Amino acid sequence: MEVNLISTFAEFKELKNIDRPTLMSVLEDIFRTQLARMYGDADNFDIIINIDKGDISIIRNRTVVETVEDPNKEISLEEVRKIDDSYEVGEEYAEEVPMSSFGRRGILNLRQNLSSRITDIEKANLYNKYREKVGEILVGEVYQAWKKEVLVMDEDGNELVLPKTEQIPSDFFRKGDTVKAVIISVEMKNNTPIITLSRTSNLFLERLFEQEVPEIFDGLITIKKVVRMPGERAKVAVESYDDRIDPVGACVGVKGSRIHGIVRELRGENIDIINWTTNTQLLVQRALSPAKISSIRIDEASKSIHIDLESSELALAIGRGGSNILLAEQLSGYKIDVYRLGDQGQEDEEDVLLDDFADEIDGWIIEALKKIGCDTAKSVLALSTEEVMQRADLEEETVLDVQRILQAEFEN
């Protein structure tokens, strides 16, 4: 049992990466705890541990007295002189406590306590290590892939979690795959550190740019703001502190060499890089590119922007599923209302204004559709049901009813 206990010490020292002072302190503490259980008090014991050699010596110190009142701390003169007749009353008598005195149960308790304490230290070390790394990119290996999360192992064999909600919709991982993500949180739950990764965080995209664009890493170019629809589209506003550096060109790279690597990592996410400006009107114009804006009016009181576009520019401004205009709103911090102008100043003679359906469609629904740039029947029918639902914030049943009414007009 003593040999097994010594081997346990060596095992933890070798595998758990616990520093020597900490391990020495833990060993002394668990021995004192066990001695206190056996003798009632452990203050008069010296514990000498040599981890390298695997030696453990426990010395019990007792005072020589005529009459013993505390057997743990005192020994009678008569008893001690049976061992060594040179002792006198008042002297200290030291004797080694054999490991066998702990008994099988005591040795098992020592091993269990050591395992528990070392595990707690390991968890605390892991928590402190990763708490300082929040916001950094980590590359790990997929250990297990489940429906709701992926378990990732770092280079030291520590477990990290990549929840489904933090994965790009087109992500698909198998055991053994290499995964790159950003550390977004480190929490203690039931005394266990939970390290959470993310591939959908805006911070992940920022860190990827720092890795691919030396000018950003060096601080010559700053990322002012990032907005994303993970796996679909992103807008990154950048600014250069050196007039000789084109921030957009530097981020894209020669023939797209820098941006291509980021796009591949994000499963084909379409990334728009724009020059940052504090001029809201100019920022919105850049954010809605490639659509060309005919006119723009800003209402600071309501934090909204009214934009007029030619019919041919409407789809470009809104983007697939409304992605372009939604990201432009997030980037600028303003609500953007898009209105369509007629082609060459003329309305489509075959089209019908939504206001003409006021007797069949509620006014609030018509207003909601106008706010997303759909002021005619054909402009509504040109969008899918899902797009209208998302952009106008309408229920599916309501959108289907509107589409049915508008379609009937042209069928008639």
Domain boundary among 257, 276, 295: 276
Q: Would residue 231 count as lying in a domain?
A: yes
CATH code of the domain containing 225: 3.30.300.20
Q: Would residue 47 count as lying in a domain?
A: yes
Q: Is 120 in the same domain as 140?
A: no
pLDDT of amino acid 26: 84
Q: Is 93 in the same domain as 145?
A: no
Q: Each residue of 167-225: pLDDT tens digit? A: 999 999 999 999 999 999 999 998 899 999 999 999 999 999 999 999 999 999 999 99
> What is the average pLDDT across 79-96?
90
pLDDT of amino acid 347: 43
Q: Is 28 in the same domain as 147?
A: no
pTM above 0.85, yes or no: no
Q: Identify the bridge partners of residue 299 per DSSP, sorted by sequence position.
A: 304
Q: Is 75 in the same domain as 139?
A: no
CB 32 within 8 A of CB 47: yes
Burial class of residue 162, CB neighbours in 10 A (0-12, 13-18, 19+):
buried
Burial class of residue 392, CB neighbours in 10 A (0-12, 13-18, 19+):
buried
CATH code of the domain containing 163: 2.40.50.140
Beta strands in 190-333 (DSSP E): 192-198, 221-229, 233-240, 270-275, 293-299, 304-310
> What are the start-end ranges of the H helices in 180-279?
202-212, 214-217, 247-252, 257-265
pLDDT of amino acid 169: 92
Q: Is 146 in the same domain as 36?
A: no
Q: Is 122 in the same domain as 22?
A: yes
Domain that holds residue 155: 134-200
Residues in the chain, total? 412
Q: Each residue of 360-409: pLDDT tens digit? A: 898 899 888 887 778 788 888 888 888 888 888 889 999 999 999 998 88
Q: Is 144 in the same domain as 242?
A: no
pLDDT of amino acid 345: 42
Q: What is the mean pLDDT of the chain?
A: 87
Q: Would residue 285 count as lying in a domain?
A: no
Q: Would residue 65 count as lying in a domain?
A: yes
Q: Is 149 in the same domain as 250?
A: no
The whole-angstrom distance between residue 408's C-alpha and the CA centroid of its chain comes to 50
Q: Is 7 in the same domain as 51?
A: yes
Q: Would residue 52 count as lying in a domain?
A: yes
> What is the average pLDDT across 317-328?
86
> What is the average pLDDT across 63-86?
90
Q: Each residue of 333-359: pLDDT tens digit? A: 999 988 877 543 444 446 788 888 888
Q: Is 110 in the same domain as 151?
A: no
Domain boundary among 130, 160, 192: 130
| Whole-angstrom distance, CA of residue 110 vs CA of residue 30 | 7
> What is the average pLDDT across 143-169?
94
Checking DSSP bridges between strand 270-275 and strand 233-240, what pairing results, if any? parallel
Q: Is 216 in the same domain as 196?
A: no
Q: Each residue of 3-22: pLDDT tens digit? A: 455 555 555 555 556 777 77
pLDDT of amino acid 409: 82
| Whole-angstrom distance, CA of residue 315 vs CA of residue 312 | 7
Q: Would residue 387 count as lying in a domain?
A: no
CB 368 within 8 A of CB 338: no
Q: Would residue 97 count as lying in a domain?
A: yes
Q: Would residue 304 count as lying in a domain?
A: no
Whether residue 250 has pLDDT greater than 80: yes
> What is the number of domains present in the chain?
3
Q: Each residue of 280-312: pLDDT tens digit? A: 999 999 999 888 888 899 988 889 999 888 877
Domain boundary among 276, 305, 330: 276
Q: Is 141 in the same domain as 241?
A: no
Q: Identify the bridge partners of residue 140 per DSSP, sorted by sequence position.
A: 179
> What is the average pLDDT across 124-137?
92
